[in-house]
Amino acid sequence: MILITGAKGQLGSDIVLEMNQRGIDCTGIDVTELDITDKQAVHSYLHILKPNCVIHCAAYTAVDAAEDNEELCMRVNKSGTENIAIACCETNAEMLYISTDYVFNGEGITPYETDTPTEPLQVYGKSKLAGEEAIQRNMDKFCIIRTSWVFGTNGNNFVKTMLQLAKIRDEINVVNDQIGSPTYTPDLAVLLCDMALSQKYGIYHATNEGYCSWAEFAQEIMLISGNSCRIKPIPTEQYVTLAVRPKNSRMSKASLDKAGFSRLPGWKDALERFMKQ
């Protein structure tokens, strides 16, 4: 049986759907069912449920708000993750942990390998790296999956924001010097289900194929939706945020290739499927 935390979120909900479509026994929980920051509660829940694998999607993901709420962000992403990892180790369960491109410093133009030295620039990135380290410290049977620019049906995301803004604006300023890969949650869910059944442990990078800037992503959203709203490319310096954003979010998929996992489809194909849905 597979346990999915954060099951009401953007990615977690699609993992539950994928598991159900495959006929795999799974349980999805969210904060209302289990507070992952409560170590005793996590211990009791996993010892009673005894899952074979935990796909840990639950996280504090408000990147800018994290700068003013570091203690809460760390409690959820570091301590909460460690609570899950310890309980998994005690019950001999595997663990899949969803991490982020924000563990890197965002410099250069070369895609990051899984063993590239980490250097997060913001509280969110530091908290997710701390989660990675907690798992590696406490477990042997784990997969760490770093992803980026996630969008799907549930929850807020860049695609929905652009479509909403396009209803009220003729032009939207979008940064053009941050480069990465959008990731469609149903596509990532397929890979995560494959990983959960594989026992191929390690660190992986998983996004839809191809790179683009946020401005190029936005332009494609307008093109597919048939929207006349103009996208004005601007440098990062003209779009001030509390948390530093990485300019380079490119990640190598060599780890997927080596393990024999299929890469995700191209991001434009994924965006078209999302828009049709």
pLDDT at residue 217, rounded to an integer: 98
pLDDT at residue 277, rounded to an integer: 82
* Residue 124 is among the residues annotated as catalytic for this protein: yes
pLDDT at residue 160, rounded to an integer: 96
Q: List residues bridging with 230 in a β-sheet.
A: 171
Instruction: Find the angle CA(254)-CA(255)-CA(258) to the nearest 5 degrees.
Output: 85
pLDDT by residue, tens only, the chain of 277 residues = 999 999 999 999 999 999 999 999 999 999 999 999 999 999 999 999 999 999 999 999 999 999 999 999 999 999 999 999 999 999 999 999 999 999 999 999 999 999 999 999 999 999 999 999 999 999 999 999 999 999 999 989 999 999 999 999 999 999 999 999 999 999 999 999 999 999 999 999 999 999 999 999 999 999 999 999 999 999 999 999 999 999 999 999 999 999 999 999 999 999 999 999 8
212-213 vs 2-5, strand pairing mode: unpaired
Is domain 2-156+183-208+250-264 given the CATH code 3.40.50.720 in the classification? yes
Distance set, CA 19 to CA 9, 14, 53, 94 (Å): 15, 9, 13, 16
pLDDT at residue 88, rounded to an integer: 98
CB atoms within 10 A of CB 138: 19
The domains of the chain are located at: 2-156+183-208+250-264
Q: Are 274 and 151 in contact (CB under 8 A)?
A: yes
pLDDT at residue 155, rounded to an integer: 86
Catalytic residue among 124, 201, 204, 239: 124
